[in-house]
Chains A and B, each alone.
Chain A
Amino acid sequence: MSATAVTEAPQQPQTPSRAKQVLREILESSTLVVIMAVVASLIIGAILIVIADEDVRTASAYFFSRPGDTLSAMWDAIWGAYTAMFQGAIYNTRADTFAAAIKPFTQTLTMATPLIFAGLGLGIGFRAGLFNIGAQGQIIIGATLGGWVGFAWDLPGFTHLLVAVIGCALGGAIWGFIPGFLKARTGAHEVIVTIMLNYVALNLLSYLLSLEAFQREGQNNPISPTVAENAQYPLLLGSQFPLHWGFVLAIACAFGVWWLMERSTLGFEFRAVGANPRAARTAGMSVAKGTILVMVIAGALAGLAGSAQVLGTEKNLTLDIAGSIGFDAITVALLGRSRPLGTVLAAILFGGLKASGPSLQVLAGLPVDIVFVIQATIVLFIAAPPLVRSIFRLPAPAHEKEVAA
């Protein structure tokens, strides 16, 4: 995890000309690698789109007599898919009013909200040298506790939302505490424990949803009652947009995490423990305390991601409450280099990919799963800058930086 420390490209001592130096810095920068990784992934996505397209297959049957047909069918398929994604995630060019046209983007931000929360939490863990694969379980337990407060309790006005949100954070924090505590006390590897706890959480939720206390009346499916109106995040931009106040809370958390990691003593300890636990211990920091605290904070943030789901988007508990957010958040944190700003941007990118799913299905007739492929390949490419550089023939930086995660 030495990797998260990505620094600016070092200055060259001897510089022939200003323009060349600027160009070189641009080519060597890690931002360009990120952009190129996205481009490469979109190309892989395009290949899949072409393979799946019926017209391309028909046209390719007579490829050698009329190759133009195949090529144009390919172009149509790719263009259709990517415009559908754009319209589903950013701006709907076919809409009549501006409000309707911009609605996809608010949907993107809504989808990004839980990813921001969970990604921030995982990012703190990565920087402290902890590989937390357990956001999924932490989201589930957070959403369960907060959701239960939301539909089973009856509190006046704003306090209900407040208590429910705290419940979500608390649930996640408890689920994060377990691996942190086990790691600190027994050395149990957090990757293994968190993976296992994900499944324990899912089974626990499945059990709870079979109980009467969690069952919606007149329903046999595992679905809870709807969260009380008081406990839902209010909508941010009025009833025509899905975006809720959870997004604002997520941005606030991003600032909070930035302050914690960059400005506070505690954050410095976290980073020191991540960079070199032995040195941190020698300097008088408690590695065990750091480990437990990091996992608790990461869990609480993941629990808040659960709140965005159960109190914001879904408004009830189901087995699918966490979707694939826990795993998507890992890619978000990796793509955002575990930094708050990067995490927010990465979450918006992946939120957009998620939001484009339905329109991809309707307009281009493609399954949503292609989004997972694009997401996964982006992260694979980002994790291996030398690979991206060799694909696009970019010059290697003067000092090869270690970028692992």
Chain B
Amino acid sequence: MSATTVDTATPDAAASGDVLKTKSWKGPIGLGVVALISLLIFGFGTPSGSDTTFVVATSSDFVHLPTLTLPSKIAAIVLSVIALALAGYSAYLANQYRKPGLWLPIVYGMAVMGALLSWAGAGRDNTSIQITGLLTSSLFLAVPLIFGALAGTLCERSGIVNIAIEGQLLAGAFFAALMASMVGNAYVGLIAAPLAGALVGAVLAIFATKYWVNQIVVGVVLNMLVIGLTSFFFSTVMSDNPDLNRSLGLAALPIPLLSSIPIIGPVLFDQNLLVYTMYVVVIVFQIMLFKSRWGLRVRAVGEHPKAADTVGIKVNRTRVRNTILGGAIAGLGGAFFTVASGLAFGKEMTAGKGYIALAAMILGRWSPRGALAAALLFGFADALRVQLGIIGSDIPSQFLAMFPYLATIFAVAGLVGHSRPPAAEGIPYKK
């Protein structure tokens, strides 16, 4: 993979390494274009005189929030104009060599999505947009992506490319279902899943560090191998003994008080153990990776292994440990598909989620916090696809399904911010 590290001599790539600050107009332009499209399609495209109903309340809230009915056209136009104004503000910041805070893309995203929803829900009197339901399923659908992206981040920060996230998720899903069914307790699945993922991670680590095999090759092939193995056992051993593949589910554990806050409560604090584990894992690794000695060492190994080795850090040992740890985390995410969703294992049931997780990792710029945000965005796109399908929108669901992939292509092409992988990623370390 020596070719990938060579920069293609564009002025852009050369400039990004400079100490001099450069004005980056790509972000503001991108935001502006999307906001304009939103204004044209959602704002002016909505028939006037129709209303959109947003439902935010659920039965268990303390305070019952009223149902919100807005005139669709005006709401969509106002929200699009807000988005446009934010794009303008980010252009102003770019001109001053400053970068907008995290709040800007979040508020911007909410404005555009709000415009989209009021356009999609316009004039549908029987159906309303279920905001809380939408957010809850966004978070839930994002869970495997978050775990997967976090696994990718841990591996790649130490210099190992982990394309095998898909395989790790699938292995985790399979083993969680198998062990949970054997013992008869869904929580056993949460212990079994990381073991299977770690095993896949270990194979990747050995091939990458001991045999110096191209990591992308190993990743792709491991995905095939896991698909083959799990499908094989699914169609033979599991179908011969249905007891080995039962649908057991983790119960939702509402946190007292917190779970009755409107909107936030049901979305964040009325979930199952896997989701709560996800909160902890993301926070722990965000701190560990960037604030601890361990994190500094991992990043050193990923950026400049020779320098790390010189000061006595065991490069390959660090990589092997991180890859196994990453595999375990992805495996835990795999438990989402079976025990956390209350489903039995099915053939190839991860359906490419591992690759979306990879995309979330890139979009999140190789940090747990970013991975969380990107995965939530993708989860939201997925949930929106389902919701729009229910209210019968005109947007073909396939285009919403494409969104994560297109967003990632734009991200790696440098159209949305600049994504730079760890420098030593994918290069075997040979003394």
Contact = CB atoms under 8 A, between A and B. Distances in A.
Interface of A: 1-3, 48, 51-52, 54, 128-131, 133, 182-193, 195-197, 199-200, 203-204, 206-207, 210, 273-274, 276-278, 281, 287-288, 291, 327, 330-331, 334, 366-367, 369-373, 375-377, 379-380, 383-384, 386-387, 402, 404-405
B221 interface: yes
Interface of A: prevailing SS: helix
B284 interface: no
Most chain B CB atoms below 10 A, which of A131, A190, A386: A131
B307 interface: no
Interface in B207-261: 207, 211-214, 216-218, 220-225, 227-229, 231-233, 235-237, 240
Interface of B: 1-4, 6-10, 12-13, 163, 207, 211-214, 216-218, 220-225, 227-229, 231-233, 235-237, 240, 352, 355, 358-359, 362, 396, 398-399, 401-402, 405-406, 408-409, 412-414, 421
A375 B223 CA distance: 12
A190 B7 CA distance: 13
A376 B7 contact: no
A370 B224 contact: no
A182 B228 contact: no
Contacts of A404: 212-214, 217
A195 B406 CA distance: 11
Given A367-B236, A376-B224, A383 B3 contact: no
A52 B240 CA distance: 9
Most chain A CB atoms below 10 A, which of B207, B211, B236, B352: B236
B237 A387 contact: no
A204 B52 CA distance: 30
A75 to B, nearest CB: 18
Nearest to A278: B6
Given A187-B7, A380-B207, A203 B398 contact: yes
B220 A330 contact: yes
A196 B405 CA distance: 5
Given A187-B414, A274-B3, A48 B232 contact: yes
A273 B3 CA distance: 8
Given A367-B232, A367-B235, A380 B220 contact: no
Contact of B213 (A367, A371, A384): A384
Nearest to A377: B225
A50 to B, nearest CB: 11
Given A196-B355, A367-B236, 16 more contacts: A1-B214, A48-B232, A51-B236, A197-B409, A199-B402, A203-B402, A207-B399, A273-B3, A287-B8, A327-B224, A367-B232, A372-B227, A379-B217, A383-B207, A383-B211, A384-B211
Contacts of A188: 409, 412-414
Nearest to A291: B8
Contacts of B412: 182, 186, 188-189, 192-193
A185 B362 CA distance: 19
Contacts of B212: 402, 404
A384 B163 CA distance: 18
B426 to A, nearest CB: 9
A204 B399 CA distance: 8
A257 B323 CA distance: 38
Contacts of A278: 6
Contacts of B414: 186-188
Given A277-B6, A380-B207, A203 B401 contact: yes
A210 B224 CA distance: 29
Given A184-B8, A187-B7, A187-B13, A380 B218 contact: yes
A133 B216 contact: yes
A327 B228 CA distance: 13
A380 B211 CA distance: 11
Contacts of A200: 402, 405-406, 409
A373 B6 contact: no
B214 A366 contact: no
A383 B212 CA distance: 9
Contact of B218 (A186, A204, A367, A383): A383
